[in-house]
């Protein structure tokens, strides 16, 4: 019986600008994606029917889950899928999108399907899904699917030390987009090659107005020594970058009242 296990990595957005509303109802974006070491794990085993189990009881295991939707879309032989969750849902870390991309890639390889339409299938599942075929650091436009790889922002093979602050508050993407009242002109890829100066997140202002505690968490990261801090995606996770892992680990002590994760860019 065939089985395959794969890691499904989270992402952050170094920068995220909403540049316009499209005729198809989606928004145009300009963003810089980054994969990070926080990951879920998916195991696929041949079975007589498609099924999904998860060690987090709050995660749906029916066809509302992108893992199930990806497997059905690919039309592979049936598998029993086990999902071990570490990426929180609704935190702007792309866990569901990453799970979907990992499912498409894993089943395509497991059954030697040789599908050449995985990017199209990925985009039909969500705007962030195609990025997870690329990974690393990438500049993206369109809905987020027009991707250009960028050099790593870290000069170290160990990546940039990050502290993820994970509040209990959750933000639905549709609610965040509904609060966008103005659009930002795109800066172009060259603006993002030289550090954090041009990095911003257009969701911060409306989401912080809705959930003021998130603004406080961002300020606390700066106060704790972060060289850069921002909300990722449409929230609610707040991310801080640190000059060293030791400084990051020391800063984590100041957040005993909220869940944090120590991670690195990959």
Which residues belong to the active site? 11, 128
> From CA 263, how far away is CA 152, in angstroms rounded?
16
Cα–Cα–Cα angle for 6, 82, 122, rounded to 5 degrees: 60
Q: Where are the alpha helices (DSSP H) in the chain?
A: 66-74, 95-110, 118-125, 131-134, 173-178, 204-210, 212-223, 245-252
Q: In this structure, what token pair is assigned to residue 48?
A: 């007589």
Token pair recorded at residue 226 = 């972060």
Q: Do you know the residue count of the chain?
A: 266
List all residues 6 or more positions away from 92 whose beta carbon is below 8 Å from its beta carbon: 12, 13, 171, 231, 232, 233, 234, 235, 236, 237
């Amino acid at each position: 019986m065939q089985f395959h296990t794969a890691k499904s990595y989270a992402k952050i957005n170094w920068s995220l600008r909403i540049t316009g509303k499209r005729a198809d109802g989606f928004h145009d974006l300009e963003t810089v994606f980054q994969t990070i070491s926080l990951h879920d794990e998916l195991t696929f085993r041949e079975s007589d029917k498609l099924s999904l189990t998860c060690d987090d009881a709050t995660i749906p295991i029916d066809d509302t889950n992108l893992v199930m939707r990806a497997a059905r879309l690919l039309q592979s032989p049936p598998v029993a899928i086990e999902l071990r969750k570490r990426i929180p849902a609704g935190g702007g870390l792309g866990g569901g999108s990453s799970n979907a991309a990992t499912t498409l890639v894993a089943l395509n390889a497991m059954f030697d399907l040789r599908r050449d339409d995985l990017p199209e299938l990925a985009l039909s599942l969500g705007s962030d899904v195609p990025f997870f075929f690329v990974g690393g650091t990438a500049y993206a436009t369109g809905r987020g699917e027009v991707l250009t790889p960028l050099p790593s922002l870290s000069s170290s093979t160990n990546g940039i030390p990050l502290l993820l602050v994970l509040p209990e508050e959750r933000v639905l993407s549709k609610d965040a987009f509904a609060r966008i009242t103005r659009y930002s002109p795109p800066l172009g890829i060259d603006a993002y090659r030289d550090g954090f100066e041009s990095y911003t997140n257009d969701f911060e202002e409306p989401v912080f107005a809705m959930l003021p505690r998130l603004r406080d968490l961002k300020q606390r990261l700066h106060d704790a020594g972060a060289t850069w801090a921002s909300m990722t995606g449409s929230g609610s996770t707040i991310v801080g970058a640190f000059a060293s892992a030791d400084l990051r680990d020391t800063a984590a002590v100041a957040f005993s009242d909220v869940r944090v994760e120590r991670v690195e860019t990959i």
